[in-house]
Amino acid sequence: MNTITVTSPLFPPLETLEPYLKDIWDKKWLTNNGHYHQCLENALCEYLNVPYISLYSNGTLALIAAINVLELKGEVITTPYSFVATSHALLHSNITPVFVDIEPNTYNIDPSKIEAAITKKTSAILPVHVYGRPCNHKEIQKIADKYNIPVIYDAAHAFAVKENNQSILNEGKLSILSFHATKTYSTIEGGAIICHTKEMKEKLDRYKNFGYTNETEINELGFNAKLNEVQAAFGLATLNYIDEAIDKRKEVSDFYYTHLNNISGITLPNIPENLIWNYSYYPIIIDQNVYGKSRDELYLKLKENNIISRRYFYPLITDFNIYSQYKVETPIAKKISESVICLPIHHLLSDNDLNKIISIIKNNENK
Ligand SMILES: Cc1ncc(COP(=O)(O)O)c(C=O)c1O
């Protein structure tokens, strides 16, 4: 039985990658701000409609770099409903994560609860555009301005997302992307930081290269988080296919909507009219009392049938042992975390695959 995976990495056709590889082999330049690294930064600025971008070797190191370049200290307000990399980046930087509950409809940090969590030690807000659904950035920015602290968006899921035709990646002081193979757009491993000034871009470029200003000068700390030429070439070749892949994801999303919309006890993602989404995940919420089976029962039933869904994000970050000292009650995040299941969504799903998924979810209804 063939396995239906929750996602599938987007590969450029091999023959479109070959000329890049041939050129890299000829030039013998593999990393350290090479030609294709620069080409990809320029191409992404244009594609994403952002002013400056600094590529990184992954999203986690991009987050840590952002935190350190802004010299954050003390406490940072964030969400427990994310992949653990978000708050790990804070712990790595000796910062106390202060967790705030999420909104029940977007699963993003609830701005109305942020102010109560601010103390004299708060140095920033680190929200996540969960599943690529934009945060309530206007309200978040109002609070940040009032307390004169920066907002860094973990935009790992938000590649190419637009709200009112504007890139969501321009919100906040910095936005972090992940280009991991499981993401809508990938450089195999990879990430990036989006910023608004040339000075900040240069700082971020130095940070990923040990802090070097030039061959003989280092004035700031840094580490190694450079993206190499082969991955940059993979990213450039993939950019030509990303629109098509997102369109395919949209078709999957539409299919799910058509077939699952009237199943009682299942809440589907709601996509506001002003949002151009990337369909990076397809989270559904199971109300066991109405649907008749628990989230975990459905998860296992799918698994028995070789359909790999994911309980993103379960457990909550605050439920990991290592976060026990930072745990606070976040009842909405807890409830969503215990009832969410992300269905397979990617550019290679066939009608057969989708029909199989739908029939298992439907057969499961009230049984
Ligand atoms: C919300 C979020 N933040 C950060 C990351 C870390 O990105 P990476 O895997 O590229 O280090 C991920 C994904 O892996 C993520 O989902």
Is residue 272 located within the same domain as residue 180?
no
Of the three residues 208, 224, 239, the one that is the final residue of a domain is: 239
Is residue 235 located within the same domain as residue 353?
no
Is residue 71 located within the same domain as residue 182?
yes
Residue 2 domain flag: no
Q: What CATH number is associated with residue 305? A: 3.90.1150.10
Is residue 43 located within the same domain as residue 165?
yes
Is residue 291 located within the same domain as residue 346?
yes
Is residue 213 located within the same domain as residue 276?
no
Is residue 233 located within the same domain as residue 249?
no
Provide the H-helix boundaries in the chain.
14-27, 35-48, 59-69, 85-92, 137-147, 198-207, 229-239, 242-260, 288-291, 295-304, 331-339, 351-363
Give 46 Cα–ligand 1 centroid separation in angstroms: 23
Instruction: Determine which residue's CA is closest to atom 4 belonging to ligand 1.
Output: 85
Contacts of 66 (CB under 8 A, 6+ apart): 152, 174, 176, 193, 204
Evaluate: CB of 128 within 6 angstroms of ligand 1: yes
Residue 5 domain flag: no
Residue 127's φ and ψ, nearest 5 degrees, are -85, 165
Contacts of 237 (CB under 8 A, 6+ apart): 12, 16, 17, 20
Is residue 32 located within the same domain as residue 157?
yes
> Which atom from ligand 1 is nearest to the alpha carbon of 85?
4
Is residue 172 located within the same domain as residue 276?
no
> Which atom from ligand 1 is nearest to the alpha carbon of 179?
10
Evaluate: CB of 110 within 6 angstroms of ligand 1: no
Is residue 255 located within the same domain as residue 266?
yes
Q: What CATH number is associated with residue 97? A: 3.40.640.10
Could you list the residue range(s) of the whole structural domain that residue 290 is in?
242-363
Of the three residues 213, 239, 265, the one that is the final residue of a domain is: 239
Evaluate: CB of 78 within 6 angstroms of ligand 1: no
Report the domain count for the chain.
2
Residue 6 domain flag: no
> Which atom from ligand 1 is nearest to the alpha carbon of 61?
11
Is residue 82 located within the same domain as residue 166?
yes
User: Can you give the pLDDT of all 367 residues of the chain as single tens digits?
Assistant: 789 999 999 999 999 999 999 999 999 999 999 999 999 999 999 999 999 999 999 999 999 999 999 999 999 999 999 999 999 999 999 999 999 999 999 999 999 999 999 999 999 999 999 999 999 999 999 999 999 999 999 999 999 999 999 999 999 999 999 999 999 999 999 999 999 999 999 999 999 999 999 999 999 999 999 999 999 999 999 999 999 999 999 999 999 999 999 999 999 999 999 999 999 999 999 999 999 999 999 999 999 999 999 999 999 999 999 999 999 999 999 999 999 999 999 999 999 999 999 999 998 655 5
Q: CA triplet 257, 263, 266: central angle to 5 degrees?
A: 80
Give 37 Cα–ligand 1 centroid separation in angstroms: 21
Evaluate: CB of 58 within 6 angstroms of ligand 1: yes
Is residue 117 located within the same domain as residue 230?
yes
